[in-house]
Amino acid sequence: MGKSRKQQQQRRGAGTRVDEYTDDDTLSTTTTSSSLDALSDISITPEVEEEHDDATKLESFIEALYQKRASIRDAGLKGLIEALTGGVLVEFTENNYETLSQRFINSVKIGASSEVAQAARALGLLAITVGAGDIAKQINAEASPHLEKVAKVGSSPAARASCLDAMAILAFVGATELEATESTMAVFWLIISHRANHFEDQKTGANTPSGTVKAAAISAWSLLLSTLDPKRVSSSQHVQMCLPVLSRLLKGDDLAVRTASGEAIALLYEVTNFLSFTAGAADDDDDGDSEDMGAVKESVRTSSEKPASSKSAMSVVGKALEAQEAHVMEQMKSLSVHAGGKGQPRKERAMQRSAFRELLATIEDGVAPEVSVKLPAGNVLSLHTWSDIIQLNVLRHFLGEGFQRHMQENTLLHEIFDFVPQVEKNTLSKKQKRMFLSPNSVMSKARTQVMNRRRSYSQAGNIGIYDVTEEQDE
């Protein structure tokens, strides 16, 4: 699983972003023991009936995926997506994952653009719900080839972007081997580096991507990059190979592409700066000769023993990289002051300037912005690295309105962000408020039944006492 890589430095940004969510339907709930006792007095409760109805609905949605009419399959996908975002249906997905994944893949293969986009999202939601493990690994292996085909040569930008998002989520959750993760990243990079011409179509085997598709590819690539070990990123020379392409994308007219490129650059710098930081800390620590740092030192020693010609070549590469880094810095500074893009609305220009000021702070000072997200029950999720921020942004975008519920109840997200939610007692959803608090609710009827039963017991007891008293008097 692509779990969160927790950096050890305690750095804080100057600015803090706070996101708030207030949808009552996503609040976690508990019921009191007295409520359960009252409900047990009713042979068949509306709650049980509603659960049965929900199970029937889910079955009908699955059945719809087998139909020949695209509109029926589309409705089934919408219903399942709503169910998977509205709750963490672990038991349902674990019991039906083979059927669900195969029907979703079938829709990706035969459906029109709308159906493909929804089926791709459903595959990602399925993986997020079942969590890391063999099931997610199997879904990733079976679905990725079909998603990749659409992502490369699909005619619909929306379907291509959705397939890219789903590939990223499936690899993030289900790719357990480094080779699988980097193979998926290579697909994303083909689309990111595409130069929008016919020759490039033939060279990469991918159609010219729109701004929406490129932005999705960059975000997907960054998500998987955030899971890699810093030493792997440095040894693979990601910065050297990727900076020129990302620098070119900073010049484009599409705001989403520019912002995603800036975040990818900030992540690259954060990872490499973290490696330098840990190496320096190891040098300062007398007991810091761990195996990992020993490998880093060995690579440095080996490079210093290379022939003069090799050193010369490395020097040339180093100077070229320094020049490229300086150019990128100037671009970031410019975008933090003057908004690029033609005909860009004022609000978007302000958002861009704010975003690039934060990105520039990471590159210049090594400080990521502090992001705090308010969640139900008084929970707050605080993030301090670009790795975590990028993972949050991708998952929040993918889950949509279901983000709160999953953040509160999904153990996979708890593991990713090292988050332990606090549960607020007696917090009820709208459905439960109708069930327990309204005059016609189950609880009100249960209380009425209990009170009537007590009255009948009391009356019966009184009659008995009077009878005995009368007998004694006689």
What pLDDT band is residue 350 in, cutting at 50, 70 and 90? Answer: confident
Looking at the predicted structure, is the pLDDT value of residue 23 above 50?
no
Measuring CA to CA, which residue among 219, 288, 278 is closest to residue 254?
Answer: 219
- Look up residue 395 and give its two tokens: 């998952």
Closest CA to 118 of 88, 80, 145: 80
pLDDT number for residue 340: 59
Per-residue model confidence (pLDDT) at position 204: 79
Low-confidence winner among 9-13, 88-92, 212-216, 229-233 (lowest mean pLDDT)? 9-13
- For residues 297 and 175, which has the higher predicted lDDT (pLDDT)? 175
- Residue 2 has a pLDDT of 52
On the question of pLDDT at 80 being above 90, the answer is yes
Q: Is the pLDDT score of 106 beyond 70?
A: yes
H or E element: which one contains 373? Answer: strand 370-374
Residue 39 has pLDDT above 80, yes or no: no
Contact (CB, 8 A) for 104 and 84: no
Q: What local confidence, expressed as pLDDT, does residue 364 receive?
A: 82
- pLDDT at residue 352 in the model: 82
Regarding beta strands 370-374 and 16-19, do their DSSP bridges make them parallel or antiparallel, or are they unpaired? parallel
Residue 25 in this model has a pLDDT that exceeds 70: no
The structural domains of the chain, ordered by start, are 1-42+368-386+397-446 (no CATH), 54-175 (1.25.10.10)
Whether residue 28 has pLDDT greater than 70: no
428 has pLDDT over 70: no
Q: Whole-angstrom Cα distance, residue 110 to residue 419?
A: 40
Q: In this predicted structure, what is the pLDDT of residue 166?
A: 98
Percentage of the residues of the chain whose pLDDT score is greater than 70: 66
CB proximity list for 61: less than 8 A, separation 6 or greater: 75, 76, 77, 79, 80, 83
What's the pLDDT at 362?
80
What confidence tier does 341 reach under pLDDT thresholds 50, 70, 90? low
Q: CA–CA separation, 447 vs 455, rounded Å?
A: 12
Q: What is the mean pLDDT of the chain?
A: 76
47 has pLDDT over 70 = no
Does pTM top 0.85 for this prediction?
Answer: no
- Has residue 236 got a pLDDT over 80? no
Share of the chain above pLDDT 90, in %: 45
- At 286 the pLDDT is 46
- The band of 431, judged by pLDDT with boundaries at 50, 70 and 90, is low
pLDDT over 60 at 84, yes or no: yes
Q: Is 156 left (phi over 0), alpha (psi -120 to 50) or beta?
A: beta
